[in-house]
Amino acid sequence: MAIIIDGKALAKKIRQNLKVECEELKEKGIIPKLAVVMVGENPASKVYVRNKSKACHEVGIEYEEYLLGEEVTQQKLLNLIKELNDNKEINGILLQSPIPENLNINEAFKTITYAKDVDGFTPSSIGKLCIGEETFISCTPYGVIKMFEEYNIDLTGKNVVILGRSNIVGKPLIQCCLQKNATVTVCHSKTENIKQYTRRADVIIAAIGKSKFVTEDMVKEGVIIIDVGINRTENGKLTGDVDFENVQKKASYITPVPGGVGPMTIAMLMHNVIKATKEQNR
């Protein structure tokens, strides 16, 4: 039976440590503050944003939400981001995705100043990650790496297969795993016969958004499974991209959904806000 990687407990520990750091900053008169920008009424985004605001409250980070209507223009969105860039009370800026398709999200991310890029999505942060410089690492990949570290899982020489190549999860994960000396393979919707890659994998990180996509026959004995996917079934239950019940019988380590990568993502966002605050006040 696999060891279940407890993202919920690890995230709690990280938040408790950050709370102490936050109190130390407040003793110096520095109050960390996160601004979250949302465009339109996406129900899933509302849940994510609520969880982020709860985590901020717990750690002691001030939280401010900016809600823009569906009909907002690109220019108005960029103007708001520029105002937040210039606002000395704001230490971190997060643009919640998705945003309406008529808006250019990459341009919006690029407008966020590097110093406040707590999501790690700006070209500066991504470029620094690629060349191995200290930077803001996007929160989900960062959370995955923290899990490996906490459970003493050494990626050196391991065959890591990443399922999904999105800009926010799959692509930054490639760099994070390379830095841990893994041999990395990336599969996506155009990959033929995915099973031939997953069956050879020592580690599989699934981030495609397809419920129970990874099945028992696709993995080898002893595989380490990180399930990033969050899917909702017809009866409202959350599932990952991995068939947890059956795959766990073969795995050595596995993350559950919920209670795995999700809480870690939010904990690493809190980490990035504290990091940004400290760097801005150095």
Residues that bind ligand NAP (CB under 6 A): 140, 163-166, 168-170, 187-191, 194, 207-210, 228-231, 261-262, 265
Please name the amino acid found at residue 280.
Q
CA distances from 102 to 72, 98, 167 (A): 10, 11, 19
Which of 31, 238 has the CB closer to ligand NAP? 238
Closest approach of Cβ 26 to ligand NAP, in Å?
28
CB 240 → ligand NAP: shortest distance, Å? 8
Q: Determine whether 248 is an active site residue.
A: no
Which of these is catalytic: 52, 146, 212, 250? Answer: 52
- Minimum separation from the CB atom of position 138 to ligand NAP (A): 9
| Least distance from ligand NAP to the Cβ atom of residue 139, Å | 7
Assess whether 52 carries a catalytic annotation: yes
| DSSP E strands, the chain | 3-4, 33-39, 62-68, 92-95, 159-163, 183-187, 203-206, 224-227, 231-232, 238-239, 253-254
Exactly one of 96, 117, 146, 227 is catalytic; which is it? 96
In the complex, least distance from residue 17 CB atom to ligand NAP, rounded to whole angstroms: 20
Bridge partners (DSSP) listed for residue 67: 38
- 119 belongs to the catalytic site: yes
Minimal CA–CA distance to 166: which of 260, 239, 115, 98? 98
Q: Quick one: 60 or 172, whose CB is closer to ligand NAP?
A: 172
Of residues 181 and 189, the one with the C-beta less far from ligand NAP: 189
Active-site hit among 119, 202, 227, 243: 119
C-alpha 250: how far from chain center: 26
Nearer to ligand NAP, 190 or 282 (CB): 190
CA distance readout (Å), 261 to 15, 59, 64, 206, 241: 15, 19, 25, 11, 12
**Any idea which residues carry the catalytic annotation?**
52, 96, 119
